[in-house]
Amino acid sequence: MLGQQIINGIMLGSVYAMIAVALTLSIGVLNFLNFSIPGLFMIGGMAFWALTKAGLYWLFAIIGAVAVVVALSLIIERFTWRWLRGAEHFVPLVSSMAFLILFDHLAVVIWGSEIRPVTVAFAGTDWRLGGYIISVPQLIGLGLSLLSIFALSLMLRRTRLGRGLRTIAEDSDTALLLGVDVNRLVPVVFVLAGLFAAVAGSLFAIDYRQVHPFMGEAIGLKGISAMIVGGMGNVWGAIAGGLIIGIAEVLSVGYVGASFVDISVFGLLLLILMVRPTGLFIGLASDRSRS
């Protein structure tokens, strides 16, 4: 049923949207594509699994996973941005990619390479509404992801911290002249990106009830695709891009076959870029100029 497939696609797309938002924060504010974010997503999911297996309630397990990933995000900021800021522009990018590989292999050493089943109290519960089946874990995941993104949007537009981040995104030199403490705000970008990656990893574990050390690689590619489809640097565009990619993937599985998923998703990405190279939505710079 088409309606059921779209519902499933929205649920999956909400995870892609979270990753796309994390990537958008880095590239929109710092003009830096943080390749460690898929690794942080994986650590978030694996940490959630480990904490729930240890008996922690699922909500506290999410908080614990966020704490672990935020700490790692600050380490990444220290060794990819602050320490290497004066190097060639591609050096921090390569360093963040090294962190991605490091996290993958550390996870294998700590937890093993096997797929780990995730069990939470409400797993397996479904609601039937008008002939459609809605998984309660997926619904909770969708709600948490939308709430997180809405809170981020409010913070960027209505707080002093958000105004400082938008000023840095516009021009870091001008931000310094205006008295913005760039060195203090840059770690905030890494923390926010890590927070979204950790929540996305935890929600993925809840929704699909399994985790493994290499789950970040495919999700990361879909998140980057969602960011590009929506428009580089546009938070709400990243959300729309994530939902589009999620729906396209689920429809491909349902009507074409699982072996054609990547062909469908990345073919859609190429088609959109051919028609609109800047993505479907304008960037943050244009939004800021009108605000």
Q: What is the pLDDT of residues 39-85, one digit of tens each?
A: 999 999 999 999 999 999 888 999 999 999 999 999 999 888 877 76
Residue 281 lies in a domain: no
Instruction: Provide the total of helices (H) and of strands (E) in the chain, helices listed first.
Output: 12, 4
The answer to whether residues 288 and 249 touch, using CB atoms and an 8 Å cutoff, is no
What confidence score (pLDDT) does residue 186 get? 84
Q: Name 287's Cβ contacts closer than 8 Å, sequence gap at least 6.
A: 234
What confidence score (pLDDT) does residue 163 get? 79
- pTM of the complete model: 0.86
Residue 232 lies in a domain: no
What confidence score (pLDDT) does residue 60 get? 93
CB neighbour class for 131 (10 Å; exposed up to 12, middle 13-18, buried from 19):
exposed
Residue 31 lies in a domain: yes
- Which residue range(s) make up the domain with 102? 2-215
Residue 277 lies in a domain: no
What confidence score (pLDDT) does residue 90 get? 72
What confidence score (pLDDT) does residue 173 get? 64
Residue 54 lies in a domain: yes
CB neighbour class for 241 (10 Å; exposed up to 12, middle 13-18, buried from 19):
buried
Residue 44 lies in a domain: yes
Q: Name 45's Cβ contacts closer than 8 Å, sequence gap at least 6.
A: 65, 201, 202, 204, 205, 211, 215
Using CA atoms, how far apart are residues 187 and 193, in angstroms rounded to an integer?
A: 10
The answer to whether residues 61 and 48 touch, using CB atoms and an 8 Å cutoff, is yes
What confidence score (pLDDT) does residue 63 get? 94
What confidence score (pLDDT) does residue 282 get? 61
Tally of domains within the chain: 1
Mean pLDDT (10-residue bins), the chain, 291 residues: 82 90 86 90 96 91 95 92 72 87 94 89 66 74 82 83 77 67 82 93 88 90 89 82 91 84 87 84 47 38
Residue 71 lies in a domain: yes
What confidence score (pLDDT) does residue 285 get? 41
Using CA atoms, how far apart are residues 198 and 210, in angstroms rounded to an integer?
A: 15
Residue 268 lies in a domain: no
